[in-house]
Amino acid sequence: MLKSSLKMPVSGAVKIWLGESSSRQRIGAIALCLALLSLPFVVHLDGKPHADWQQLLGRLHPLAVHLPIGLIVLVPLLEIYGKARPALRDAAAFVLALAFAACLGSLTLGYLLAYGSGASGPIVTAHLWGGTALSISVLLCLFVRPSWLSASAAHPANMLYPGLLASVVFTLAWTAHQGGSLTHGANYLTQYMSPAMQRWFDFDSQLASTKGSGSFYARHINPILDTNCVSCHGESKSNGGLRLDSYELLMHGGKDGAVIVAGHPETSLLLERITLPTSHKLFMPAEGRPPLQAEEIAWLKAWIAQGASASATALSGVVLHEDTLESLGPPPQPVADYSALMPQISQLALGQGAKLLPVSSLPSDGLILSTSNVSATFTDAQLAQFERFAPYIVEAELGRTAVTDASLATLGKFTHLRTLHLEGTAVTGTGLAHLAALPDLRSLNLNGTRVTAAAATSLDAMKNLRHVYLFNTPAQPASTAESQQDSARKTE
């Protein structure tokens, strides 16, 4: 049955692989293996980004890599079921040859992506070595398979090909895991393990140094970097030679030098990159990841401006409640269905320029008032026109607009408001008491305003307010110690 299957016509390219290897073919295969093994030394990953065309082609790697995966997984199935249907054995030879070609293509794109983008790190290296080993293993399978088909049951070649094929599948799984760690983070599979399981496998040891600290960096800055940046700038992958997974490495910087200049947020490269327009090629986080939230940028800016300390437990001008079960307060209430008002909402956006954007596809999650396109010209009078939609607005982005204290009375009618941005406005705090009527207000950003210390005392009445930002205002506490006392008083 096997002999008859070998006589079936196949393409000329596959006949070369099915036939007995000639000396020229063996020499060519050895040369190709040596070339693949030399790639990591010839194409040295120096941690620096290179040509844009390399990144353009390299970004096809995550798409192209699925082709060899599918082909390789298919080969063992064809070999197993080929015992009963010999035609499947012929198909296995063709699929194996395609898998080798696909491995070479995917490996080439992977090198272009890593070299072009400046990616480096142990997992990047391991992933590339895995792709190299996979390509060589598939090539060896192609050469060994003809002998396996013609060998007797007792011949050593009878077990060599199945063993190689098993190693190919194992190498594929290991290499794919390294690639997944680069894309989703090294803890992607372990993130939701119980603490006991993480201790058993020692997955939580790398976080012990920051989890045990009560500093502002450990509680607020490090989690921001860990969530948004470490997948590209961590132990497994360090684009540009920059790692952000510890305080020491953050302050050390990368190939372009220091990214944090203590006391000078205006010259800190990290802050510059995260505040670029999202369309800019140097914007961070890169690769289509969402930008940092406004409050996260505010924390980073204030932390850098006040010395970028690893040990300071609080920042002057940033008052944060600790979110415990006892202090969280009642959960925000869902808003009513605004679907019937969508024509009016769309018409108002055309006239005002400011927009009401849905938080999600569920109307009960509410609307966001966005003024990003017209912030410099958005006034108290324009805000008043949104009053009829007040019961549906859960976030108002009024930072750097022309609103004044007169708008505080209007905002006091936004009964489901949870987050309010007033940074960079002319607000002095007169009328902040109007916001005390907002039971769901959790975050209030007054950075860079004219709010005085006397006006800020009215915030004490807002029992559910969790985050208050008063950096660069007359109300900013004179010292970190005073800020800590104020934070403790507001938490009580």
The verdict on 167 and 238 lying in the same domain is no
Burial string for 415-450 (b: 16+ CB within 10 Å, else e) reads bbbbbbbbbbbebbbbbbbbbbebbbbbbbbbbbbb
Count CB neighbours of 334 within 10 A. 13
Give pLDDT, residue 107.
Answer: 93
Give pLDDT, residue 313.
Answer: 83
Q: And the tokens for 121?
A: 């790190």
Instruction: State whether the Cα torsion 118-123-125-127 is positive or negative.
Output: negative
**Edge-to-edge strands, sheet with 355-358:** 318-320, 467-469, 443-445, 419-421, 393-397, 367-370, 355-358
Give pLDDT, residue 218.
Answer: 85
- Cis bond upstream, residue 285 (ω within 30): yes
Residue 89's nearest CA partner among 172, 8, 170 is 8
CA 459, CA 475: separation in Å to the nearest integer?
Answer: 12
The verdict on 282 and 429 lying in the same domain is no
Is residue 91 in a domain? Answer: yes
DSSP assigned state of 435:
G
CA 411, CA 409: separation in Å to the nearest integer?
Answer: 5
Q: Which domain holds residue 347?
A: 339-491
The verdict on 344 and 307 lying in the same domain is no
Give pLDDT, residue 155.
Answer: 63
Is residue 198 in a domain? Answer: no
CA 166, CA 193: separation in Å to the nearest integer?
Answer: 30
Give pLDDT, residue 369.
Answer: 93
The verdict on 343 and 294 lying in the same domain is no
Is residue 73 in a domain? Answer: yes
Is residue 334 in a domain? Answer: no
Give pLDDT, residue 125.
Answer: 83
The verdict on 431 and 374 lying in the same domain is yes
The verdict on 34 and 178 lying in the same domain is yes
The verdict on 230 and 375 lying in the same domain is no
Q: Are 458 and 328 in contact (CB under 8 A)?
A: no
CA 17, CA 161: separation in Å to the nearest integer?
Answer: 14
CATH number of the domain where residue 364 is located: 3.80.10.10
The verdict on 115 and 227 lying in the same domain is no
Is residue 92 in a domain? Answer: yes
The verdict on 143 and 49 lying in the same domain is yes
The verdict on 285 and 351 lying in the same domain is no
The verdict on 174 and 301 lying in the same domain is no
Domain boundary among 295, 313, 331: 313
Q: And the tokens for 151?
A: 């060998």
Is residue 250 in a domain? Answer: yes
The verdict on 363 and 421 lying in the same domain is yes
CA 238, CA 120: separation in Å to the nearest integer?
Answer: 5
Is residue 248 in a domain? Answer: yes
Per-residue pLDDT tens, the chain, 492 aa: give them: 333 433 433 343 344 344 445 677 778 888 888 988 888 888 878 777 788 888 889 889 989 999 999 999 999 999 999 888 888 888 999 999 999 999 999 999 999 988 887 777 777 888 899 999 999 999 999 888 888 887 655 566 578 889 999 999 999 998 988 887 777 656 566 655 665 665 555 544 444 444 445 788 888 898 888 777 876 777 666 777 788 888 888 888 887 788 899 988 888 999 998 888 878 878 888 766 778 888 788 889 989 999 998 888 888 777 665 544 344 556 778 899 998 898 888 887 777 778 898 988 888 889 999 887 787 889 999 999 999 999 999 999 998 899 999 999 999 999 999 999 998 899 999 999 999 889 999 889 898 899 998 888 888 888 788 888 887 888 876 543 344 334 333 333
CA 258, CA 308: separation in Å to the nearest integer?
Answer: 13
Q: Helix or strand or coil: residue 204?
A: coil
Is residue 213 in a domain? Answer: yes
Give pLDDT, residue 426.
Answer: 94
**Total number of domains constituting the chain:** 3
